[in-house]
Structure 1
Amino acid sequence: MKPVFIALDFIDAPTALKFLEPFKDVKPLAVKVGMELFYREGSSIIKQLREQNIDVFLDLKLHDIPHTVQQAAKQIGQLDVQFTTVHSLGGSEMINAARHGLDEGAKKAGVNAPQLLAVTQLTSTSEEQLHDEELVHVSMAESVSHLAKTASQNGADGVISSALENELIHQAVSNDFKCINPGIRLPSNNVDDQKRVVTPQKASELRTSGIVVGRSITQSNDPVQTYKNIYNAVNGGIK
């Protein structure tokens, strides 16, 4: 099963949980909790989602000195989330520290450790920004490939990347290394602040390991049906 994570980019828990009410009979169901919602609600929102057997991708993109990241990851590891993120630009020592922290926290809480995903380059980053603002003088493809390899060598289970980069990441690492893809839009959607976007069908063709979808579902006139359509495009069926 390739998860379709619904990005719960809502202001608070009541709004997010109300949005999910029509999904109560939809299985499987996975969501992404990002900074806005988690910083407002803390671990309570995770608990409420897990009580409904919803898989949770906690997307906080940790990026700090290794010790701080390890201690933060230790807290995340106790929350019974299924996926979480760090920035690969934090380096090999930091990624490795995150892996250890997650494992420590999960063992303490008696839950499964989250899968660790490393953000390569944000899907809002353009090639021009990479060169002109970040002063990275290799191509986007080279940067993403190198960061993915570094993440793999230091305990990450996969990366967050544009689906356009899945093949080069698999070539650099392995076919088993997960590529979770944001930057997903339906053909009728605006691109908004994303730069490197694809449709769900295209992501499937590009061998995605799972996708993150926000506004295309949350702003749909029929979110449940839209979710099912997207899931079918990626997986070929829904229970």
Structure 2
Amino acid sequence: MKPPERLIVALDVDTEEEALSLVDELRDVVGVFKIGMQLFDSAGPDIVRKITRAGGRVFVDLKFHDIPNTVSAAARIITRLGAYMFNVHVAGGREMMRQTAKATLEEAGCLGISPPRVLGVTVLTSISEQQLREDLKIQLGMEELVVEWALMARECGLSGVVASPHEIAAIREACGPGFLIVTPGVRPVWADKDDQQRITTPAQAIQLGADYIVIGRPILRGKNRREAAMRIIEELEASI
């Protein structure tokens, strides 16, 4: 995979107009555009189709977490929209993940298209180990928990996981080379940390074994967003 294809830009904006402007500006230097709740709730599902028609691949980042029937039904809809990838919370359990993976393949088969990659969200990058123990009452260590959940996601037929940079190497060792690792919490050395807790640089994330890195604010806040994206890609190229 070429360095630009590894870069996922988070379209954390309020309007369809802003999103499509970013896609137009960046689509030839970025691999995937991520649509989260902010944009999806504002612009609606059709924004996925519009970005795809404009030449961008779309990661629908809605982190589905509900009963198996509800999430598998949502997976069929996301597949119809033409998403390149989408995610569910591993904490939703094995049956939810199995039914979601199955529904995605079935729907793509009916449509005659390639199925979107289904990713399992492990632990959010804003969660610290202390919060894991004290707030969520989970006594496993962060790395042990994330690896266990990654193995469970693979067992249930998911394509990969979303995990912080700190767990990349352990997931890669446990799950092997064919399992996708999408890594948020990535910050170039010249960018602010913001509210992320478990972070690393783009080059470090790729060297540890990530397939994709997700970056939003360091690009969106830049005076020249294309230049910011190119700086990140140059860092990736130097690391490979």
Hey, what does 1:142 align to over in structure 2? 144
CA apart distance, 1:81? 1.0
CA apart distance, 1:41? 1.8
Hey, what does 1:131 align to over in structure 2? 133
Hey, what does 2:10 align to over in structure 1? 7
Aligned equivalents of 1:210, 1:86: Cα separation in 2: 17
1:118 partner SS: strand
Aligned equivalents of 1:47, 1:102: Cα separation in 2: 17
Hey, what does 1:80 align to over in structure 2? 82
- Within the candidate set 146, 150, 153, 2:155 is matched to 153
Hey, what does 1:16 align to over in structure 2? 19
What's the Cα RMSD here?
1.5
Alignment of 1:166-205 (within 5 A): 166-205=168-207
Hey, what does 1:62 align to over in structure 2? 64
CA apart distance, 1:199? 0.8
| Identity between Structure 1 and Structure 2 (%) | 33
Report if aligned partners of 1:43, 1:79 keep a CA contact under 8 Å in 2: yes
Unaligned stretches of 5+ in structure 1? none
How many aligned residue pairs are there? 236
Aligned equivalents of 1:226, 1:27: Cα separation in 2: 11
Unaligned stretches of 5+ in structure 2? none
CA apart distance, 1:141? 0.6
The letter for the 1-side match of 2:148 is H
Please give the per-residue CA displacement for 1:1-32, whole angstroms capped at 9, x wherever unaligned: 252111000001011112333335x2454200
Please give the per-residue CA displacement for 1:160-213, whole angstroms capped at 9, x wherever unaligned: 001221111112211221111000112122211110011111112212101000
CA apart distance, 1:234? 2.4
The letter for the 2-side match of 1:12 is T
TM-score by length of 1: 0.94
- Within the candidate set 19, 31, 34, 2:33 is matched to 31
Please give the per-residue CA displacement for 1:135-176, whole angstroms capped at 9, x wherever unaligned: 001100110010000000001111000122111111221122
Aligned equivalents of 1:110, 1:134: Cα separation in 2: 42
Hey, what does 1:92 align to over in structure 2? 94
Report if aligned partners of 2:23, 2:51 keep a CA contact under 8 Å in 1: no
Report if aligned partners of 2:23, 2:54 keep a CA contact under 8 Å in 1: no
